[in-house]
Amino acid sequence: MLGKLSTRVLEHLMHSVPTAAPVPHRSVLSLSGSQASEFLNGILASSVNQTGPHRPMFSTFLHAQGRVLYDVFIYTHTTPEGKPAYLIDYDARASADGVTPPLLSMLKRYVLRSKVKLRDVSEEYDVWSAWGSDYEASVQAARERKWTHANSGAVEPDWSAEAEWPWGAEERVVRDRRAEGMGVRMLVSKGEKPKQSSSHDIASSDAYTLNRILHAVPEGIEDIPPMKAFPMESNLDMMGGLDFRKGCYVGQELTVRTYHTGTIRKRIYPVVIQQSEHSTPSILSDLPSTPTSVDLRPSSTSQASTARPRKAGKLLSSTQGVGLAMLRLDDHLGAAINGDEGYSYDLELASQSDSASAEKWKVTPWRPESWPLFRAQS
């Protein structure tokens, strides 16, 4: 829970009118050929329909050791020759460690004798998101999301009661079911605007980033560092990007073992960022830059000892005084979410002009109402 004033500020940040905005830092690959579905099913962490029509989805490519390589959207597409194909939307920026293989190169290693064709089509498409329409709100209101829980703390959306494919059926469009309120995601011909431009406000990519953070949706290399992030800790289970019941795929062994016998000890939470010296919770503070992987520590006011508390998480992406943070699922997090006095996290940023001095910030997590209860909180 947050204070009432902070809650009002968060509500103010929510764009209240239908909005469309480009999604930043995304590239697009084309996957075609008679064995495209079979090929994709063997390496993607979600089940791909191999006997019927192609279907869009949100999913994940994992490393053999079960860590995330890329979170992706899969779109359906018809080639100029009239053949069904897929388009893959992903974050192509180089990872901080510089060792993550480019997605196109990685996929080509798995082709072998498969009858598939891969090519980069980023110069042909822009990625857009549209949210906030009356239609989306009515669909959301009529649909109560259900969840499947594992003893490990993993949580999956239960789509079984839905009459149609949850990610939609339109070509080059995916219903963004990672969280309610995310609207639809689409591929638009390069330089053009989406069809929603006549009924939606056109905003910048910053508006999209703010919308997904407010809906607690991690995305791309800043929130889900390649070769480092574990899928359940990054909420990919809750966002529908994993299938724990399909057959063999790259990274399946560790992922399924964690689901059945492991324990999830961290999760990504949305957070409010405030300057420590401000006493009123209504003042949200945008950081002077957008740092990534900055350590968070339990607030000193909640510590009985004067010793510097050990780190409890990391701030990931942030904008306009809100962000996403990877946090340990412990008693401190529970107290911070419940709004207990003095329970938050401290963040220190060294000044660029004086590395010896550091600005202090207060970081307070909240739990979206649409979320299920995780095992550690139930």
Check whether residue 213 and residue 116 sit in a common domain: yes
Same domain, residue pair 183 and 61: yes
Residue 245 in any domain: the answer is: yes
Asked whether residue 134 is domain-assigned, the answer is yes
250 and 269, same structural domain?
no
Dihedral-angle region of residue 235 (phi above 0 means left; psi in -120 to 50 means alpha; beta otherwise): left
* 378 part of a folded domain: no
Give the residue from 204, 228, 261 where a domain finishes: 261
CB-based burial label for 353 (10 Å; 0-12, 13-18, 19+): exposed
H/E segment holding residue 11: helix 4-13
Query: What gap in Å lies between CA 361 and CA 354, rounded to an integer?
Result: 17
pLDDT (0 to 100) of residue 9: 60
Burial (CB count within 10 angstroms: exposed 0-12, middle 13-18, buried 19+), residue 326: buried
Q: CB neighbours (10 Å) of residue 343?
A: 20
Query: What would the two tokens of residue 72 be?
Result: 């992706």
- Report the pLDDT value the prediction gives residue 67, as an integer from 0 to 100: 95
For the beta sheet containing 19-22, the strands, ordered from the edge strand earlier in sequence to the opposite edge, are 173-175, 184-189, 125-131, 19-22, 201-202
**pLDDT above 70 for 293:** no
pLDDT at 371: 92
Mean pLDDT of the chain: 87
Spatial distance between the Cα atoms of 364 and 373, rounded to a whole number of angstroms: 18
Strands 201-202 and 19-22: parallel
Domain containing 53 equals 14-261
Same-domain pairing of 207 and 292: no
Please, which pLDDT band fits residue 278 given cuts at 50, 70 and 90? low
Domain final residue, candidates 202, 233, 261: 261
Inform me whether the pLDDT recorded for 186 exceeds 90: yes
* Whether residue 367 has pLDDT greater than 70: yes
Mean pLDDT value of segment 339-365: 75
pLDDT at 12: 66
Q: Is the pLDDT of residue 175 over 90?
A: yes
Domain count for the chain = 2
Q: What is the pLDDT of residues 206-225, one digit of tens each?
A: 999 999 999 999 999 999 99
**32-89 pLDDT, tens digit each:** 999 999 999 999 999 999 888 899 999 999 999 999 999 999 999 999 999 999 999 9
Same domain, 246 and 299: no
- The predicted structure's pLDDT at residue 52: 84
Bridge partners (DSSP) listed for residue 173: 186
Neighbours of 358 (CB within 10 A): 12
Whether residue 318 sits in one domain with residue 222: no
In a domain, 349, yes or no: yes
Chain CA centroid to CA 247, Å: 24
Inter-CA distances, 232 with 7, 35, 199, 323, 328, Å = 27, 30, 37, 19, 13
Per-residue DSSP letter, 200: S
Tally of CB atoms within 10 A around 128: 25
Query: Quick one: average pLDDT of 190-216?
Result: 94
**Is 361 in contact with 287 (CB distance < 8 Å)?**
yes
User: Quick one: pLDDT at residue 5?
Assistant: 44
The reply to whether the predicted model has a pTM over 0.75 is yes
Query: Do 234 and 291 fall into the same domain?
Result: no
Report pLDDT for 377.
Answer: 41
- The CATH number assigned to the domain holding 152 equals 3.30.1360.120
Whether 271 contacts 306, CB under 8 Å: no
Kindly state whether residue 92 falls inside one of the protein's structural domains. yes
- pLDDT level of residue 200 (50, 70, 90 thresholds): very high
Contacts of 296 (CB under 8 A, 6+ apart): 311, 312, 313, 314, 315, 325, 327, 345, 346, 347, 363
- Does 44 fall in a domain? yes
The CA distance from 270 to 217, in Å, is 8
Domain boundary among 227, 245, 261: 261
101 contacts: CB under 8 Å, gap ≥ 6 = 69, 109
Q: What average pLDDT does the segment 144-167 reach?
A: 91
CB 325, CB 341: distance < 8 Å: no
What lies within 8 Å, CB to CB, of 288 at 6+ separation is: 349, 359
Asked whether residue 351 falls in the same domain as residue 255, the answer is no
